[in-house]
Structure 1
């Protein structure tokens, strides 16, 4: 008797997906392990390539140094009834930086993402740094534990800066294109409400909202893409090709 195996479409590695979530600068909360139930929303946070996290908080905030978790939420760029696409938890040791360290940290952040809130450092705001020990990623592809070295060695998806604008444009300006993608869905999902959910170098993800729940489907590209012209070719192929295998994820 032979077994049948369903080949899952290729996806970014867990470390690359974690780097992408961190690079999007979506909401974050700080969860001090010594204060169960406490959820602190920083004025600003920034995840560095090595997994360390810079956190800007009011100088009089009672957040203690010590073992801490930073939770990052990956949100869909279009309005969905279940908007969370993934979560990344970075666990490590939190320390308050002195004035010299804090200003050096702010300069590093400003070179990558200038933000006027950094000007408040030393004027009512203090900088803390989380040194990572481990990371956990949970998304539609599964739950994965990562070491800081694996996180640092990966790169964010090449389209992470443009993804939100592109998917909102697809949703609002080209609903006919989204409708044409329905041909690639499992038959039982084609009557649901189809929404663009995600885009990366390996494929396009759709969210299908049905009466029985939400289902995520990945439509794989024929090859990984790295620039907009290659992406345009693959998107046209998805819309015009009579058949593409889709992997149902939930």
Structure 2
């Protein structure tokens, strides 16, 4: 069986990347809230920046204990334009708390230390910070749907390449179509006529999306061993492409 990151690691990677967020109140008739920005902290608590005028903020202040049940959805979107761009979804279900002005400013400082964003300067000036305390987490991606324990999520670490996966895949798509074509030699015969696109990268391998006439197909190209450095990654990619220099180097040593 091909080794992949654990569900908790994949969830932590999605949370670390950020991506598109949607806050969905559980109250019937309440509309979705698109945050100005958001950040998931190491303990799983999410800070969500929204406009002060948003009805959800007023509802949170008016609720018993100043808390409302809600779900925060994070979408993991492919960095290259695909027909079906969403690679995975991560849901945090819990209680959203409205913060006082002082609490909101302190929360903004903590977020800025991890994820700088000029919109954080708007706290107290038309924007405020909400805090979501998670009670449950669910991940849905190509590997399946997984209910996660909060302690497993907080103990996991994001993939070592998640910070620059997007730039690397975009560069591969735009500047190295020849390399993408060479990677196609690993595909099953029935998929080789489709449009091959770079889909994802982690320490265990490279994922390709094959856009065929009938459907989309995802294929994982596994590395010989997990990688943690760019040098190790480069060697594994050369092996997948079929670099003759790398093959000769292995013969010598």
Q: Is 1:137 matched with 2:130?
A: no
1:161 aligned partner = 163
User: Residue 82 of structure 2 aligns to a residue in which SS?
Assistant: coil
Gaps of 5+ in 1: 1-6, 243-250
1:184 aligned partner = 186
1:60 aligned partner = 53
Gaps of 5+ in 2: 61-67, 245-253
Q: Give the C-alpha shift of residue 183 in structure 1.
A: 1.1
- Whole-Å Cα distance in 2 between the matches of residues 147 and 103 of structure 1? 30
2:207 is aligned, of 205, 208, 216, to 205
2:39 is aligned, of 38, 46, 61, to 46
Higher helix content, 1 or 2:
2
1:72 aligned partner = 74
User: Residue 55 of structure 2 aligns to a residue in which SS?
Assistant: coil
Query: Contact 2:39–2:115 at 8 Å: present in 1 too?
Result: no
**Runs of 4 or more above 6 Å deviation:** none
1:90 aligned partner = 92
User: Residue 80 of structure 1 aligns to a residue in which SS?
Assistant: coil
1:124 aligned partner = 126
1:196 aligned partner = 198
Q: Give the C-alpha shift of residue 101 in structure 1.
A: 1.5
TM-score, structure 2 as length reference = 0.90
User: Residue 164 of structure 1 aligns to a residue in which SS?
Assistant: helix
- Whole-Å Cα distance in 2 between the matches of residues 35 and 19 of structure 1? 30
TM-score, structure 1 as length reference = 0.91
- Whole-Å Cα distance in 1 between the matches of residues 47 and 86 of structure 2? 23
- Whole-Å Cα distance in 2 between the matches of residues 84 and 224 of structure 1? 25
Q: Is 1:224 matched with 2:226?
A: yes
Q: Is 1:14 matched with 2:7?
A: yes
- Whole-Å Cα distance in 2 between the matches of residues 70 and 143 of structure 1? 17
Deviations 1:4-56 (A, max 9, x none): xxx2x111010110011111111100000013572110111111111111011
Cα RMSD after superposing both structures: 1.3
User: Residue 231 of structure 1 aligns to a residue in which SS?
Assistant: helix
For these two proteins, the number of residue pairs brought into alignment is: 235
Q: Give the C-alpha shift of residue 160 in structure 1.
A: 0.6
- Whole-Å Cα distance in 1 between the matches of residues 30 and 219 of structure 2? 34
Deviations 1:122-152 (A, max 9, x none): 1111111000111100000110001211110
